[in-house]
Amino acid sequence: MTGASVPATHQAANGTLGFVMLCHTALHRAAETARHWAERGCPVVIHVDKRVQKWSVEKLQSDLADLTNIRFSERFACEWGTWGIVAATQAAAEVMLADFPSVRHVYLSSGSCLPLRPVKELIAYLDERPRTDFIESVTTEEVGWTIGGLNMERFTLRFPFSWRTQRWLFDRYVKLQRRIGFKRTIPNGIVPHLGSQWWCLTRQTLSTILQGPDRALYDRYFRRVWIPDESYFQTLVRQVSANVESRSLTLSKFDFQGKPHIFYDDHLQLLRRSDCFVARKIWPHANKLYATFLSDDAEGQAGGEPNPGKIDRLFSKAVERRVKGRPGLYMQSRFPHEHWENGRTAAPYSVFQGFSDVFENFEGWLGKVTGTRVHGHLFAPDRVEFAGGEAVFNGALSDSAALRDYNTKSFLANLIWATRGERQCFQFGPGDNQELNWFMALDSNAQISVISGAWAVPLFKSNLNFTDIRREAARLQKIELDHLSVLRNGAAKARIRIWNLAEFIENPMEPLQTIVDEISPRSLRRLTEAPRLTDLTGFGQFLQNLRNQGMQPVLMGDFPTTNDPRPSDSRRGRPYLVK
């Protein structure tokens, strides 16, 4: 192969740009790309991983046999994170420098790279910057993307075990070295730099690195560094080059596990508009991408500076989705442990306890004033009281109490998830299913307002026998006491407000104003219309009767036994127009 000397007619003369390709899979795609470059006057030196089977290497070589400016370099086994990749790069780069004297810039690419812009444009771009080395090279303090939590330690510890296949030993050995304080010395006091493996260096820089007097020393050192392909050239370039442009010309993005993102046919427009020269990694079956970018039709676009912003955003969003997820969503592939939800529910909602007992038509009033969806008792024992008495609600939630009680947490999370964009309010009380008391108290999206003891009002108005009333009152009081102790717990994250019945009746407008302001902060106007207070004449006596029967009502506050709770003229009607 190396000896082939008959120039093919369709081949341009060798130019100033040469490609080094590191290949290990999908060799037919690598061949297409290599051919593309070679036919356009860019010499290509291909390194094939030593672990690739002989027949497929031979196939690749015969596929490219008609091209005189393609070479194959000595093969090394390239396990991820090991020296093999650097050795392969060195060997291939040496072939490039020796065999193709016209080459000024050497571009390191992989078999799954794809040129996005005509190679002419890349050559022109480099011609304008003939002395510049394009290589991402940053000090260890400045990188935040390293895998395994190792930054500087990559350079000071030893890594005889494979991270992929011997993770346990790898971790143990790192730990051991940390404990005994082992440290390798860095030769010549060089400052370690890290960066993307894919670079484009000038002949001068590259030959200085490869032919420098200390190469053996550096090689010996980096052979034991972890992931040397991301640090060998990145570090040494700082020793020899005065003109480092610290960025890669190859568009290559990594996910949260350090695996490269892959491009598919549906990324075509995105890749086109990125104005990057080369992208990695392309899915080998992305026929449309290969057909598009390896043809010459792609010419005539506006060729500016590479601008991968859109692609960056796409991939960083994807990583965020994987790592943080959507708050308040519980589904087949997101089911967080408690306290790790990153938002127990999807949106803010309000829980009202006792308000519909104290006010007449509280729900209608609240809906009108705040413009939110106001439900009845969603957790009522017999059925789910959706707003408007609906039998099915958003998300096709059923009003069946059995379905709701089967998984209350899913029910509430579903409701809030399905109504994103419309705030939900609902009534709650000690008569309802209490399973979610902790869940809501710990939910920062919940706004919980409680008038304690208000559950006694419907009892007071009921037509039950007094012994039944007393029994029911004792039961509800116990439940509400338990609930209040949850709400008063220091760990609670909800916005919680608690009044007892007496103090609330005393001055109902101020609490209402606060709550409404919080629900719709933008409307910030004074309430002009108050909901109608229910008639509480004789309620004090009712409480006294309970006491007389041996039940101690403690949640209502102080109601005088004989007097009405409020002056009689302001008890009914719409008395409190607070302006």
Q: Applying CB under 8 A, does 575 fall inside the site for other proteins?
A: no
256 scored as a contact of other proteins (CB under 8 A): yes
Classify 32 as helix, strand or coil. helix
Give the burial class of 88: count Cβ atoms within 10 A of its Cβ; 0-12 exposed, 13-18 middle, 19 or more buried: buried
Total number of residues that touch other proteins (CB under 8 A): 52
DSSP of 57-86, one letter per residue? HHHHHHHTTT-TTEEEPPP----TTSTHHH
**Shortest distance, position 85 Cβ to other proteins, whole Å:** 17
* Binding flag, residue 330, other proteins (CB under 8 A): yes
503 binds other proteins (CB under 8 A): no
**Residue 1: how many other CB atoms lie within 10 Å:** 12
Contacting range for other proteins; rule: CB under 8 A; set: 170-178, 395-403, 470-478, 504-512: 395-403
Binding segment (CB under 8 A) for other proteins, from list 148-156, 318-326, 424-432, 563-571: 318-326
Site string for other proteins, 122-151 (x = CB under 8 A): ------------------------------
Nearer to other proteins, 178 or 317 (CB): 317
Query: Which 432-491 positions form the footprint of other proteins (CB under 8 A)?
Result: none
Does 261 engage in binding with other proteins (CB under 8 A)? yes
Q: Indicate the burial class of 570 (C-beta count within 10 angstroms; 0-12, 13-18, 19 or more).
A: exposed
Fill in the per-residue mask, 373 to 392: x = in contact with other proteins (CB under 8 A), - = not in contact: -------------------x
Which one, 174 or 329, has the nearer CB to other proteins? 329
Pick the binder of other proteins from 148, 212, 303, 325 (CB under 8 A): 325
Q: How far is the CB of 80 from other proteins (least distance, A)?
A: 12
Chain centre to alpha carbon of residue 130? 40
Kindly give the interhelix angle for 27-39 and 54-63, rounded to the nearest 10 degrees: 20
- Contacting residues for 485 by C-beta, under 8 A, at least 6 apart: none
Cβ density class 551-569: b for 16+ within 10 Å, e for less: bebebbbebeeeeebbeee
Cα dist from 377 to 169, 312, 353, 399, whole Å = 58, 47, 9, 11
Q: Which of 158, 312, 406, 468 is in the footprint of other proteins by CB under 8 A?
A: 406
- Among residues 5, 9, 185, 257, which is the contact residue for other proteins, using CB under 8 A? 257
Among 66, 121, 245, 265, binds other proteins (CB under 8 A): 265
| 362 token code pair | 């509280």
Which of 131, 175, 220, 317 binds other proteins (CB under 8 A)? It is 317
**Amino acid letter at 110?**
S
Q: Is 323 in the site for other proteins (CB under 8 A)?
A: yes
Q: Does 396 bind other proteins (CB under 8 A)?
A: yes
Q: Does 402 bind other proteins (CB under 8 A)?
A: yes
Give me the residue label for tokens 């099915």.
392
As a whole number of angstroms, the distance between CA 451 and CA 175 comes to: 57
Nearer to other proteins by C-beta: 207 or 410?
A: 410
How is 204-230 classified by DSSP, letter by letter?
A: HHHHHHHH-TTHHHHHHHHTTSSSGGG
Q: Is 199 in the site for other proteins (CB under 8 A)?
A: no
Pick the closer one to other proteins by CB: 325 or 575: 325
Q: Is residue 418 a contact residue for other proteins (CB under 8 A)?
A: yes
Q: Kindly state the smallest distance separating residue 398's Cβ from other proteins, in Å.
A: 5
By beta-carbon proximity to other proteins, the closer residue of 325 and 376 is 325
Angle at 43 between CA 37 and CA 47, to 5 degrees: 90
How far is 518 from 449, CA to CA, in rounded Å?
A: 12
- Taking CB under 8 A as the criterion, the residue among 221, 352, 393, 428 binding other proteins is 393
Neighbours of 139 (CB within 10 A): 15
Among 158, 178, 285, 488, which residue sits at the site for other proteins (rule: CB under 8 A)?
A: 285
Complex with other proteins: residue 204 or 342, whichever CB lies closer:
342
Binding segment for other proteins (CB under 8 A), chosen from 174-182, 352-360, 396-404, 474-482, is: 396-404
CB of 74 to other proteins, least distance (A): 27
* 520 sits near other proteins (criterion: CB under 8 A): no
* Cα→Cα distances 222→163, 170, 178, Å: 17, 18, 20
Does 493 bind other proteins (CB under 8 A)? Our answer is no
Q: Is 46 within 8 Å of 73 (Cβ atoms)?
A: yes
CB nearer other proteins, residue 128 or residue 382:
382
CA distance 88 to 504: 79
Q: Is 561 in the site for other proteins (CB under 8 A)?
A: no
Task: Give yes or no for residue 272 binding other proteins (CB under 8 A).
Answer: no
Closest distance to other proteins from the beta carbon of 348 (Å): 18
For other proteins, the binding residue among 179, 335, 382, 550 (CB under 8 A) is 335
DSSP assignments along 266-328, one per residue: GGHHHHHHH--SEEE-B-TT-HHHHHHHTSGGG-SS---S--THHHHHHHHHHHHHHHT--TT
Containing 505, the helix (H) or strand (E) segment is helix 501-506
Shortest Cβ distance from residue 405 to other proteins (Å)? 8
SS3 content of the chain, % helix, strand, coil (to 5): 40, 15, 45
Min separation Cβ 163 and other proteins, Å: 13
The yes or no reply on residue 332 touching other proteins (CB under 8 A) is: yes
210 binds other proteins (CB under 8 A): no
CA–chain centroid gap for 418, Å, is 21
Radius of gyration of the chain from Cα atoms? 36
Return d(Cα 405, Cα 383) in angstroms, integer: 10
**Near other proteins by CB under 8 A: residue from 342, 434, 544, 549:** 342
Residues that bind other proteins (CB under 8 A): 255-257, 259, 261-262, 264-266, 283, 285, 314-315, 317-319, 321-326, 329-337, 340-342, 392-398, 400, 402-403, 406-407, 410-411, 414-415, 417-418
